[in-house]
Structure 1
């Protein structure tokens, strides 16, 4: 092979600090989705889909061979926190330390995309803690 070809997909989830509920569906639709895609473009992150709920974010990212998930999440969280503080005027907005991530098989990308896009429907019946248990990551 003369060049590298990667097909590495990662589902990432992170919370607001103290799991405070800052966001509504309109804010996700009209601001946060656009913000995360703009930040991703700046850093050459292949963000496939992003969505969330009142207090957390789900993102599906395709990694390039030179990228690592820790650096990507650090950049997304840092830059978005700064922009949310500046543009929305939420004083002292921060994301919680840490994140959850898991690899996604290429043949499951569409299923994970649908899962992420349906966060508002899903959370009308399920809390984040229960959702993370589904992913077998209870200490988030």
Structure 2
């Protein structure tokens, strides 16, 4: 669209269903590359991506021609389909419903990228649910505890 100029940086967080530790270090780089390809095929710019065994962070320069919810539907749907087709997990792989999406200014890019790249060190000190709650609180996002990423009960 002529005369449309944007600067949209979104940090996404989403978890494996029931927060099961299914993202294996033997193949998680392949998964990240697959998600980068999905994202870039839809004309977004991947700024950072990293995961722990039970969740994934990605930081994207968002192209406004696609909604956040459509991007997440495609990333989560296509990546879980790929994981199941490749038989990389013992059980059927699924992402948990929902996601977090947090906007950042250009001045915050370096800090968010470092934060995402340092997930392994970060999670030696902070549990995922504590991290996620803090993000929601820091961004002043109203939330219902019943819908925070849950473990199998």
Q: TM-score, normalised by structure 2?
A: 0.82
1:108 Cα deviation after fit: 0.0
Conserved? CA contact 2:43–2:63, under 8 Å: no
Residues 52-71 of structure 1: per-residue CA shift (max 9 Å, x gap): 10110101011112121111
Map 1:23-34 to 2 at 5 A.
23-28=23-28, 30-34=29-33
Conserved? CA contact 2:12–2:100, under 8 Å: yes
Taking the aligned partners of 1:121 and 1:89, their CA distance within structure 2 comes to 25
Map 1:1-140 to 2 at 5 A.
3-28=3-28, 30-90=29-89, 91-135=91-135, 136=137, 139=145, 140=148
In structure 2, relative to structure 1, the CA distance for the partners of 1:89 and 1:24 (3 Å cut) is: closer
Q: Which moved more, 1:125-134 or 1:110-119?
A: 125-134
Structure 2 unaligned residues grouped into runs of 5+: 149-153
1:87 Cα deviation after fit: 1.4
Taking the aligned partners of 1:84 and 1:64, their CA distance within structure 2 comes to 26
Taking the aligned partners of 1:64 and 1:12, their CA distance within structure 2 comes to 14
RMSD: 1.7
Taking the aligned partners of 1:25 and 1:125, their CA distance within structure 2 comes to 20
Taking the aligned partners of 1:41 and 1:12, their CA distance within structure 2 comes to 15
Structure 1 counterpart SS, 2:103? strand
Structure 1 unaligned residues grouped into runs of 5+: none
Taking the aligned partners of 2:82 and 2:44, their CA distance within structure 1 comes to 18
Structure 2 counterpart SS, 1:88? coil
Aligned residues: 138
Taking the aligned partners of 1:123 and 1:4, their CA distance within structure 2 comes to 39
Taking the aligned partners of 2:99 and 2:39, their CA distance within structure 1 comes to 17
1:26 Cα deviation after fit: 4.3
Residues 17-61 of structure 1: per-residue CA shift (max 9 Å, x gap): 000001244433x31221111222332232221111011010101
